A and B are shown apart, each in its own frame.
Chain A
């Protein structure tokens, strides 16, 4: 009798479990190879936060040619990671993208300057050669705003040229290249941060408008899990995420990942460098900052007026 009761209970449980809806599948196109900048994703995935929200998330690592924007715009990926400024410019060209959460409150792209170089400030860039992505909006901003004139050489993302030349100036991520440069025996480079030139960009999550219209609940669920993942990654034990990152990118070493994570924490990149920074600020987007940047770009004629507005570019409706 008892056995029969246990069996029916088990059957009911089984039926109950299978009655739960199939998990919703999502693809995320990362902008680079798996690194601590993706800590929120990997921690959420490794610790099952996505699964708890009924989501099955596929993280597609990127690289030099990640093509995040075209993939998200055409629906080949549902969510992508990018920087807010280049996204703005592409949204102005009619790409059906919307920015819906912050990854970093300040995008850590900046200019790495060789420790022995004569360049200390933006004004010193006059006449120099910068190795960078030619379409990086910050460069156009510097040229127009500061009236600077410099040469741009397309980057191939290696630090060889940087190590080779005393006067080398290269676009880089404050939380990655400096470590690699030191590891390769170079002196710790100086870093010219974009925010010091009054250029405030976010690193953001983007999705295409159709997906946003059709799956608001899933996006909210996604963000809940993602933000939980970030907090857990930054405040707790990051090992689950790091193991997953190593699996995705065997070039990752524990030492690098620990160092990069620490730089993220020290730089308050996720929580915010401004007065309102803190754990509650993770993921938040400020429409005022968008409005300001749009105005800056329009004034400098980098953006054609009227083509994009803050309301159209970003949304906070999916944030908890």
Chain B
């Protein structure tokens, strides 16, 4: 009971201390430089005043992030399966996937604008690219790393190739998949944001959080900029929390990563 209370009290106290410090620093800044550090209440006010614009921006960024994320999951699943089935395909493609994983996707932004157009299409493609590679690499690894003994077991029972994939390789690969998913969940909002930043468009009320950030920053509207940053953090948090929850549901009963003590 005591420990539980401390787990809440300590962070809360730290938070209060930080906020107090924040105001103190602000107070200490000369008039000319107060603009560098908006106070929490200024940020909240900016949130309120710009709630309609920010609301729309959140919606657009989330839409782009979810679409890119979803497509990456599907696409990576298919490619991972193909690569696990054929070592020819795997050996041919793997080096390129590794190279692409290491390339900063941002460099492709101007090209994408030319090919698919600015706004949602570019945002979705950038998010897709950013999420795709960790997912495909991890899932493929999972599909080919199945315990040798289990594979032999299935062979012993004369299981068909399809049975082996469906009943053995895919479930065994789930922990790997979720590792990739957790990485991708962190990257998806970033990808959508950066996509929006470099290739966003206000067409049809389509501007996202990145687009808004450009505007606020160029207009020196720093409270609104900080508010946009705060909102983006929440978005990232929601994404990761969502994936962690799904991951828990799928794995907690049987996987070592979720500790359980009832022998």
Contacts and interface: CB of A to CB of B under 8 A. Distances in A.
A contacts B directly in the complex (CB < 8 Å)? yes
Interface of A: 69-70, 73-74, 86, 89-90, 93-96, 129, 133-135, 151-154, 156, 158, 160-161, 208-210
B34 interface: yes
A153 B117 CA distance: 10
A129 B218 contact: no
B211 interface: yes
Given A95-B35, A160-B114, A161-B114, 6 more contacts: A70-B220, A90-B219, A94-B35, A94-B220, A133-B218, A154-B200
B119 to A, nearest CB: 7
Interface in B23-43: 31-36
B220 A154 contact: no
B203 interface: yes
B118 A154 contact: yes
A39 to B, nearest CB: 26
A165 B186 CA distance: 37
A134 B198 CA distance: 12
B111 to A, nearest CB: 11
By secondary structure, the B interface counts as helix
Contact of A96 (B32, B118, B215): B32
A102 to B, nearest CB: 21
A158 B114 CA distance: 12
A86 B113 CA distance: 27
A120 B22 CA distance: 53
A156 B221 CA distance: 22
Contact of A89 (B34, B219, B222): B219
A214 to B, nearest CB: 12
Contacts of A93: 35, 219-222
A208 B219 contact: no
B32 A208 contact: yes
B31 to A, nearest CB: 8
A73 B29 CA distance: 14
Q: How large is the interface on B (under 10, 10 to 19, 20 to 34, 35 or more residues)?
A: 20 to 34
B220 A153 contact: no
B197 to A, nearest CB: 8
A224 B214 CA distance: 36
Contacts of A135: 214-215, 218-219
Contacts of A129: 201, 203
A17 to B, nearest CB: 38
A210 B118 CA distance: 42
Contacts of A210: 32
Q: Top 9 A-B pairs ranked by shortest CB distance?
A: A96-B32, A90-B220, A151-B203, A135-B218, A94-B35, A135-B215, A93-B220, A153-B201, A152-B202
Contacts of B222: 93
Contacts of A133: 218
Contact of B202 (A69, A70, A151): A151
Interface string B81-96: 0000000000000000
Interface string B197-227: 0111111100100010011001111100000
B110 interface: yes
Given A93-B222, A96-B32, A135-B215, A151 B204 contact: yes
Contacts of B200: 154
B202 A89 contact: no
A73 B35 contact: yes
A192 B104 CA distance: 38
Contacts of A154: 118, 198-201, 211, 214
16 contacts: A86-B219, A90-B219, A93-B221, A93-B222, A94-B35, A95-B220, A96-B31, A129-B203, A134-B207, A135-B215, A135-B218, A151-B201, A153-B119, A154-B118, A154-B199, A154-B211
B258 to A, nearest CB: 44
Nearest to A94: B35
B149 to A, nearest CB: 55
Contacts of B114: 160-161
Given A93-B222, A154-B118, A156-B113, A134 B35 contact: no
* Residue from A69, A74, A134 whose CB has the most chain B CB atoms within 10 Å: A134
